[in-house]
Amino acid sequence: MSSNNKSEYIVEVKDLKQYFPVKTGFGKTVPLKAVDGVSFAIKPGETLGLVGESGCGKTTVGRSLLQLYKPTSGEVYFDGELVTDKNIKSLRKEMQMVFQDPYSSLNPRMTVEDIIGEPLDVHKLYKTKAERREKILELMELVGLNAEHATRYAHEFSGGQRQRIGIARALAVNPKFIVCDEPVSALDVSIQAQVINMFEDLQNKLGIAYLFVAHDLLVVHHISDRIAVMYLGKIVEIADADELNENPIHPYTESLLSAIPMPDPKMAKERQRIVLEGDVPSPMNMPSGCAFRTRCRYATEQCAKECPSLKDRGNGHMVACFNK
């Protein structure tokens, strides 16, 4: 870690909002609130898991963090420094992303060597061709690829190997922070475990911090130090991974955890599955107050009038709910 660390956090997000204008006809636009006032912080070498069902804004949070989408409002600090248009280029070396789909995130016309070497070229991180090649082979070894793979093309590899190429590309610039955007959801279950173990090994070796975006709670619990649960653009609960797993407070988190399959049939029988009523509201036409109230069995009039903010329930277990 850098000794001039101005903050105890490597990444701090304050009230991040990402609205996309959507045309509704007659020249009118309505803001689609993909991310609506999200705040969290990640310490160096820590993994924060971000979970929620499809369409809740998880991926948008990751992309807005790295300014792949320019945030509508809010602040992102990296190592104590505010991320802006002006400094994002220099900070790109420190903050990288591993994309969800290893099939579409790699250029089919480039060899593995050129895909991994591209960040080295962009940031001019080598003096000679020999040094470039040496760095690329080191990165390949780090993610479990053989040197003879260097001259082959991405389409010649399996999904798991392609994701390793993507991870090697992200590691090429020696970042301190990586956004992992559902990096295992496109892979077979047996390969998922290998890739997740590799993420953990890399974290232990290199001290990288992760924002690990996924919808599989088992995967997230395994890899994360803390977990944030997201629903329709807002974080509704955030806590240590074990604490959240054993003591979920928000009704949405309870429902998510109750849906995890149990290997033990006896325990599975005893556990009550909490099925949510109704459909997810459209982010273009959100209910007033708490967005979850239309599907919540604890909802009261207060929930319709105002939106609950995250409150600490002890030991940093933050929950946004009036009635739990």
pLDDT digits (tens, 9 = 90+) for 171-194: 999 999 999 999 998 888 888 999
Nearest C-alpha neighbor of 137 from the set 160, 116, 122, 121: 116
Going across the sheet that includes 226-231, the strands are 95-98, 177-181, 209-213, 47-51, 226-231, 234-240, 318-319, 311-312
266-312 pLDDT per residue, tens: 777 777 788 888 888 888 888 999 999 999 999 999 999 999 999 99
> Which of 108, 209, 117, 92 lies closest to 172 in space, CA to CA?
117
- Mean pLDDT score of the chain: 91
pLDDT band at 6 (very low <50, low <70, confident <90, very high): low
**Alpha carbons 67 and 65: distance in angstroms, whole number:** 5
Q: CATH no. for residue 284?
A: 3.40.50.300
Segment 162-171, tens digit of pLDDT: 999 999 999 9
- Residue 1: what pLDDT? 36
The pLDDT value given to residue 270 = 74
pLDDT class for 128, splitting at 50, 70, 90? very high
Distance (Å, whole) CA 224 – CA 234: 19
Of 261 and 35, the structure prediction assigns the larger pLDDT to 35
Flag whether 136 is in a domain. no
Task: Quote the CA–CA distance of 16 and 59 in Å, as a whole number.
Answer: 13
Number of domains in the chain: 1
Residue 223 has pLDDT above 50, yes or no: yes
146 is a domain residue: no
Write phi, then psi, for 209 (nearest 5 degrees). Answer: -95, 145
Q: Residue 137 domain-assigned?
A: no
> Would you say 237 and 229 are in contact if contact means Cβ atoms under 8 Å apart?
yes
- What are the Cα distances from residue 226, in Å, to 13, 77, 156? 15, 19, 37
pLDDT band for 41, please (50, 70, 90 cuts).
very high
Confidence check: pLDDT of 126 > 80: yes
Render pLDDT for 43-94 as a digit per residue (tens, 0 to 9). Answer: 999 999 999 988 899 999 999 999 999 999 999 999 999 999 999 988 989 9
Residue 25, domain extent: 11-94+175-319
Whether this prediction's pTM lies above 0.85 is answered by yes
Q: Calculate mean pLDDT across residues 104-125.
A: 93
Q: Of 117, 238, 244, 144, which is closest to residue 199 (Cα–Cα)?
A: 144
Residue 3 confidence (pLDDT) above 70: no
- Residue 163 is predicted with a pLDDT of 93
In a domain, 31, yes or no: yes
Within-domain flag for 260 = yes
**Spatial separation of the C-alpha atoms in residues 74 and 13, rounded to whole Å:** 8
Q: Per the domain annotation, does 68 fall within a domain? A: yes
d(CA 171, CA 173): 6
